[in-house]
Amino acid sequence: MLSGPVIITVAFLYLGLLFAIAYYGDKRADQGRSLIANPTIYALSIAVYCTSWTFYGSVGRAASTGVDFLPIYLGPTLTFIVAWFVIRKIIRISKVNRITSIADFVASRYGKSFQLGGLVTVIAVVGILPYISLQLKAISTSFSVLLDYPEIVMPTTPASAVFLQDTAFYVALIMGVFAILFGTRHIDASEHHEGMVAAIAFESIVKLVAFLTVGLFVTFGIYGGFGEIFAQAEASGALSRLFIIDGVAAYTSWITLTLLAMGAIVVLPRQFQMLVVENVDERHLRKAMWLFPLYLLLINIFVLPIAFAGLLHFPQGGVDGDTFVLTVPMKEQRPILALIAFIGGLSAATGMIIVETIALATMVCNDLVMPLLLRVGRLHLSERRDLAGILLTIRRATIIVVVLLGYAYVRLIGESYALVTIGLVSFAAAMQFVPAIVGGIYWKGATKAGAVAGLTGGFLVWTYTLLLPSFARSGWISQSFVENGPLGLALLKPYALFGLAGLDPIAHATIWTLLVNVGLFVGVSLMTFQSIIERSQAVQFVEIFKRSADVGRVWRGRATIGDLKELLVRFMGEARANAAFARFERENKRHLHDHGPADSDIVSYSERQLAGAIGAASARIMVASVLREEMHNIDEVVQILDEASQLVVYSRQLEQKSRELEAATAELRAANERLKELDKLKDDFVATVSHEVRTPLTSIRSFSEILRDNPDLDADQRHKFVSIVVQESERLSRLINDILDLAKMEAGTSEWHMADLAPKAVIEQALAGMAGLFAKARHVSLETRIPDDLPPIRADADRLTQVIVNLVSNAEKFCTKENGWIRLEAWQEAGFLRVDVKDNGIGIAKKDQEKIFERFQQAGNTLTDKPQGTGLGLPICRQILLRFGGAIWVDSEPDHGATFSFRIPLSQSGAEAGAATFETAQ
């Protein structure tokens, strides 16, 4: 009953159902009622991880080596425990940057680099191609095994068959069509393929149900449960060796497989597509964290029972372990069950092919072909209107090329390997992305050069240790390359590089590639520096949770918003471009005019939208072309920085200047204050002088008038009045002389005749001139104590006389009328001549002691008492002594007399002589 047409009809019905689901999913998405916006669908879509390798290959590997198929599923379980930290970060980064593939992610992280995007794409295509071919091989093998029912015959090598009769060829084509229909319907900034995701989730259910059905039948239908299968296996003797892990090499392989799977669950292009690109809400990850591992657990529960059942059913061998899922039900004469198993395998294989080709096509288009086209034929291509069409064409062509290459790989190489081994070769290739990605999202210092070096190194080692030996197995190159090393160099044997022997090839290759990759990545990163765009991308990636907005780019734009819109229309079509701009307006509450200048926000936004369609690197070029090539290259940016730092210098100078100005202003203000004070002093002085001058004038005038108006005054009266007039005139002229004298001295215009003087002579001469005064005032005695050996002083003789006369006459004036005495003493005092004039007069109150040296200030109440002098004597004395370099002061108590003291510096020779005298005195 399992004839060819029946199997093919069922298979096509299944594929038709898949198309219908995908179509329905897309339709619902267009209506805005998403089918896939829930965490369960998300978790199921991630289960695209379980391919025909899981479905058929795990059993095959379990049948040959026991439990070591498990690390491939334990690794993802471990990664998913921390998915909230690692995968969510990648999702967030990708959403913010509109990243469409793993190549885009790496390129974007390291400065939107073409080189890296292209490199990752090449590694992905070369590395994943065997994996796609593995799926095709599984389908064609399972089909031909099923076709021979009820016989169990292993397929002969399909190389003998004409490829037009080969199922794998048609399956490849159908998968290509599916991928084109649901993976490249339109160029969308979000790159969500909802129909495709819905179909994949459905396929995940189908393959799980199919496998569980077979597993339940085998375990509980054929045998009486797990215990019985294992008991029989143990009884059969040889099989119990599969119960344990055997030896150090097996443990090493256990660890490396766990590591490979931990990385692969994120970095395999189809996993990245499903986990990251197709993710509609990062909160879905929370449920997926346990639901997806649970799926893995369920699909693996019956692997060991089926494997042992197979081994027990076909004890003589001759049946490939990879087919046990089919052949055990066939042996048990259960054609329906076998058909269910076939559909399960088909769903596992098709799901993988669809997602993988879409992911690879996006990568090839955005990160390999577009950048090349834009570079080579940029002048023409960037002028083209309908670029969306070109993009879609490139992707569709890529899908067909990828599936056909996959088919070619099966025909040429695939037969020589078991399913799992082919898959693991791909895992090891994908693993090369892990250092650049994990380093890229946690280490800001990782540089483009480091990533390029790590990826290239790792890929070359992978090629040498896994790809070339697989060619050797297929007979393309000599088998001795593997056995003896190239040119017989045993140290370079690809499966035992540098003597690392005894490991299985995958573990061996994983160790060497990771060593070289991580070493170069870290080492070169530490030795090189980031460009400015690399730096800004690195910061944005690592600190994605701190700030989600794009780090503003540096550009000097003259482009208008209309230019940007036109660009988006060319790549995304009118409707989608307009929708994108409308969303920007809504989110930013701005209105965009076509002729308005494009600011950094709208430029970054447009670039991200475009990146969603054509990849980050190409988007950057296209936006740059619209900005009229005015995107800054590094030199320009550095120039801007230079200008900025010059501005800083200018502003510092400005600050300096303004500080100086402030200081000058303060000085000016102080000077102004001083001037104001001087002005006030001058006013006071003029007022005082006027007052002082008017007093004698008034007196002179009034007596003169009396004399004029009364000609008959008697002679005595007349004489008395005339005397007063004369006295007052004398006083007036004295006052004016003093004023002039003081003014001259203060202005520094008076003449000074400085000379070395003998003090004793000058003092005695001055006192002699006053003899008349003391003759009149007999009640006052004058006493002098002047040593003979006083050293000479430097002074003006007339001025010094003036000082002495002033002081002595003052003393005389204020002396008590009875028993008054004045004592003048002079002596030498540390380089000075000191003179004291002491009296026993009325004394001076403390508060007046400083005042009396100021102009027109006299002790006592000047309003009531008759002024005793001009009020200028002491100020003149002070001026004279200041001029001599000396000083004058007073020491007094009221009613106990006063002591006026002054000192004058000795002349140069006098000082020496004085010092000599002082010394001899000692």
Partner 1 sequence: MQAPSRTRELLVALFLLGALLLAPPLLIIFNQAARVFGVPTLYLYLFAVWAVLIALVALAVERRHAANDLAEADANVANKESGEAAGEPSDA
- Residue number, 290 or 464, with CB nearest to partner 1: 290
Q: Which is nearer to partner 1, 288 or 359 (CB)?
A: 288
**Closest by CA position to 466, among listed 490, 486, 482, 478:** 482
> Taking each helix axis from N to C terminus, what angle separates 194-216 and 284-301, rounded to the nearest 10 degrees?
30
**Is 259 near partner 1 (CB under 8 A)?**
yes
Rounded to the nearest whole angstrom, what is the least distance from the CB of residue 542 to partner 1 in the complex?
8
Q: Among 219, 258, 470, 513, which residue interacts with partner 1 (rule: CB under 8 A)?
A: 258
Are 608 and 531 a contacting pair, CB within 8 Å? no
Do 769 and 882 form a contact (C-beta atoms < 8 A)? no
Nearest distance from C-beta of residue 326 to partner 1, angstroms: 23
Distance, in Å, from the CA atom of 140 to the CA atom of 422, rounded to the nearest integer, reads 16
Closest C-alpha among 485, 435, 492, 488 to residue 459: 435
Contact 56, 322 (CB under 8 A): yes
Kindly give the residue spans of alpha helices, DSSP state H, lying in 493-531.
Answer: 505-527
Q: In which residue are the tokens 């690794």 written?
A: 75
Token output for 193: 């393929």
Strand ranges for 78-189 from DSSP E: none
| 227 interacts with partner 1 by CB under 8 A | yes
Lay out the site mask for partner 1 across 58-87 (x = CB under 8 A, - = otherwise).
---------x--x---xx-xxxxxx-xxx-
Number of residues that bind partner 1 (CB under 8 A): 53
Stretch that binds partner 1, among 539-547, 620-628, 713-721, 741-749 (CB under 8 A): 539-547
Among the candidate windows 100-108, 290-298, 666-674, 827-835, which touches partner 1 by CB under 8 A? Answer: 290-298
Question: How far is Cα of residue 757 from the mean position of the Cα atoms in its chain?
Answer: 83
- Within 8 A by CB and 6+ apart from 271, the residues are 46, 48, 49, 264, 265
Nearer Cβ to partner 1 (431/763): 431
Tokens at 564, concatenated: 């940007």
Q: Strand 820-829 and strand 832-839: pairing?
A: antiparallel
Out of 40, 240, 479, 651, the only residue in the binding site for partner 1 (CB under 8 A) is 240
Nearer to partner 1, 218 or 542 (CB): 542
Does residue number 294 form part of the binding site for partner 1 (CB under 8 A)?
A: yes
Candidates 21-29, 176-184, 281-289, 847-855; binding stretch for partner 1 (CB under 8 A): 281-289
Closer CB to partner 1, residue 360 or residue 503? 503
Please select the residue that binds partner 1; options are 12, 251, 650, 918, rule is CB under 8 A: 251
Binds partner 1 (CB under 8 A): choice among 29, 41, 89, 171? 89
Asked whether 887 and 879 are in contact (CB, 8 A), the reply is no
Strand partners, 888: 902
Q: Which is nearer to partner 1, 427 or 884 (CB)?
A: 427
Q: Retrieve residue 45's tokens.
A: 């879509």
Q: Should residue 15 be labelled a site residue for partner 1 when binding is judged by CB under 8 A? A: no
**CA distances from residue 214 to 203, 303, 523, 538 in whole angstroms, order as listed:** 17, 10, 51, 49
Stretch that binds partner 1, among 109-117, 255-263, 662-670, 819-827 (CB under 8 A): 255-263
CB of 467 to partner 1, least distance (A): 22
Residues 413-452 interacting with partner 1 (rule: CB under 8 A): 434-435, 438, 442
Tell whether residue 666 is a contact of partner 1 (CB under 8 A).
no
When asked if residue 286 is in the footprint of partner 1 (CB under 8 A), the reply is yes
Give whichever of 240 and 333 is closer to partner 1, judged by the CB atom.
240
Which amino acid would we find at residue 144?
S
For residue 238, the minimal CB distance to partner 1 (Å) is 12
Regarding 700 and contact with partner 1 (CB under 8 A), the answer is: no
Looking at the Cβ atoms of 305 and 886, the one nearer to partner 1 is 305
* Cβ-based nearer residue to partner 1, 231 or 670: 231
Please list every residue from 516 through 535 that binds partner 1, using CB under 8 A: 518
> What residues from 352 to 391 belong to the interface with partner 1 (CB under 8 A)?
none
Would you say 255 or 754 has its CB closer to partner 1?
255
Do 461 and 509 contact (CB within 8 A), yes or no? yes
Among residues 185, 287, 535, 823, the one that binds partner 1 under rule CB under 8 A: 287
Strands 832-839 and 780-785: unpaired
Rounded CA separation 722/705 (Å): 11
Nearer to partner 1 among residue 510 and residue 879 (C-beta)? 510
Among 8, 10, 249, 301, binds partner 1 (CB under 8 A): 301
The residue among 12, 50, 355 whose CA lies nearest residue 211 is 50
* Range 240-243 contact pairs with CB under 8 angstroms and sequence separation of 24 or more: 241/66, 242/62, 242/63, 242/65, 242/66, 242/67, 242/307, 242/308, 243/66
Instruction: Choose the binding region for partner 1 from 222-230, 372-380, 660-668, 685-693 (rule: CB under 8 A).
Output: 222-230
Going along 809-878, which residue ranges are E strands? 820-829, 832-839
- Using the contact rule CB under 8 A, the part of the chain among 168-176, 273-281, 294-302, 315-323 near partner 1 is 294-302
Amino acid at 382: S
Rounded CA-CA distance 607/603 in Å is 6
C-beta closer to partner 1: residue 227 or 377: 227
Beta bridge partners of 444: none
Phi, psi of 430 (to 5 degrees): -65, -30
Nearer to partner 1, 109 or 493 (CB): 109
Q: Output 309 or 613, the one with its CB closest to partner 1.
A: 309
Q: Is 231 in the site for partner 1 (CB under 8 A)?
A: yes
Stretch of 102-110, 478-486, 537-545, 899-907 contacting partner 1, by CB under 8 A: 537-545
Residue 289 interacting with partner 1 (CB under 8 A): yes
In order, the DSSP letters of 743-785 are: HHHHHT-S---EEEE-HHHHHHHHHHHTHHHHHH-TTEEEEEE
**Residue 565 to residue 582: CA distance in whole angstroms:** 11
Neighbours of 851 (CB within 10 A): 13
Q: By CB under 8 A, is residue 551 in contact with partner 1?
A: no
Contact between 234 and partner 1 (CB under 8 A)?
Answer: yes
Question: Minimum Å distance from CB 248 to partner 1?
Answer: 9
For residue 23, give the nearest of 187, 202, 168 by alpha carbon.
202
Per CB under 8 A, does 283 bind partner 1? yes
290 is a site residue for partner 1 (CB under 8 A): yes
Supply the minimum distance, in Å, between the C-beta of residue 99 and partner 1: 19
Question: Do you find a cis peptide bond into 150, omega within 30 degrees of 0?
Answer: yes
Q: Which is nearer to partner 1, 424 or 518 (CB)?
A: 518
67 versus 126: smaller Cβ distance to partner 1 = 67
CB 725 within 8 A of CB 704: yes
- At residue 439, φ and ψ (nearest 5 deg) are -60, -40
With binding defined as CB under 8 A, does residue 293 bind partner 1?
Answer: yes
Nearest Cα residue to 690 out of 628, 736, 750: 736
Least distance (Å) from partner 1 to the CB of residue 492? Answer: 26
Bridging pattern class, strands 832-839 and 793-796? unpaired
Q: Does 220 bind partner 1 (CB under 8 A)?
A: no
First to last CA, the chain: 148
Stretch (H or E) spanning 310:
helix 303-313
Binding test (CB under 8 A) with partner 1, winner from 545, 691, 737, 829: 545
Nearer of residues 158 and 321 to partner 1, judged by Cβ: 321
Site for partner 1 in 302-321 (CB under 8 A): 304
* Binding-site ranges for partner 1 (CB under 8 A): 67, 70, 74-75, 77-82, 84-86, 89, 225-228, 230-231, 234, 240, 243-245, 251, 254-255, 258-259, 262-263, 283, 286-287, 289-290, 293-294, 297, 301, 304, 434-435, 438, 442, 514, 518, 542-546
